[in-house]
Amino acid sequence: MTDRRSLSDIPETAVKLQLEKIDQAAKSGVDWIQLREKDLSGKQLAEFATAAMWRVAGASAILVNDRLDVACAVKAAGVHLGEHSLPVREAKRFASDSGAGKHFLVGASVHSREAALQAEEDGADYVIFGPVYATPSKEKFGQPQGLTKLQDVCRRLKIPVLAIGGITLENARECLKAGATGIAAIRLFQGAANLTALVKELHGE
C-alpha cells in the first residue's frame, strides 16, 4: 500500500520517490500494490496509476484505492473499497458494465466477521481484515482484532483474507499461520532496508 506523503513534503519529489518504491516492490516480488493516495484528484490519480502500471509492467497487480472510476479508466487490475466506499455489489456491476473484464478484482476492507461474510456474499474477490495488531493509523477502527478473530474469519470465508494493522516481519508469520492468504501494510514495505529480502522471507524462501 502506498503513501507518497510519508516520503517527502515536496509533492513532485513524493511522487518520484513513490514510483521508485513501486518499481522496487514489483521487482522484489510483491504481488499486489494498492495505490492509497486519497488526496489526489481523479485526474492526478489516473496519471499516477498509469505511471505505476508502466513501472511494474505486469510484474505486480496495481489496485486503486476507493476510486472505481479511475481503476476502470486506466485498466488497473482492480479496486479496493473502504468501509464507506461504494458497496461491493454495485462496484462489481459497474466494473462489469464498464468492460473491466472478468479478472478485474474488487476487494474490501472489513473490521468484523459479519462484514467479511457480507463482502464475500456481495461478490468481493478478497477482503483485508483488521486491524489485527495495534497501530496508530487504525485506532479509529477500535481495539485490535487479534489472531483469534482473524483465524475465525479465515476459516469462514472461501475468498482470500489479507491481514492488516501493525504488521511486522515477525508477526506476519503468525497471521499466515492463522490462515491469512497474505498481509497488507504500508510501513513494513516502504520502510524496508532490503525489500527483496523481506519479500523472500514473507514467501518463506
What is the C-alpha to C-alpha distance for residues 129 and 159, in angstroms, rounded to an integer? 12
H or E, element range at 64 = strand 61-65
- Structural domain includes residue 57: yes
Instruction: For residue 153, name the pLDDT band (cuts at 50, 70, 90).
Output: very high
- Structural domain includes residue 190: yes
pTM of the full predicted structure? 0.94
What is the C-alpha to C-alpha distance for residues 138 and 131, in angstroms, rounded to an integer? 6
Domain range for 187: 4-199
User: What are 80-122's pLDDT values in tens digits?
Assistant: 999 889 999 999 999 999 989 889 999 999 999 999 999 999 9
Instruction: For residue 137, name the pLDDT band (cuts at 50, 70, 90).
Output: low
- Structural domain includes residue 204: no
Residue 158 is part of a domain; what is its CATH number?
A: 3.20.20.70
Are the C-beta atoms of 109 and 83 separated by less than 8 Å? Answer: yes
- Structural domain includes residue 55: yes
- Structural domain includes residue 185: yes
What is the C-alpha to C-alpha distance for residues 62 and 19, in angstroms, rounded to an integer? 12
What is the C-alpha to C-alpha distance for residues 25 and 142, in angstroms, rounded to an integer? 30
What mean pLDDT is predicted for residues 18-39?
97
- Residues recorded for the chain: 205
Q: Percent of the chain, pLDDT > 70? A: 97
- Structural domain includes residue 110: yes
pLDDT at 205: 74
> Which three-class secondary structure state does DSSP give residue 14?
helix
Total domain count for the chain?
1
pLDDT at 139: 64
What is the C-alpha to C-alpha distance for residues 163 and 150, in angstroms, rounded to an integer? 8
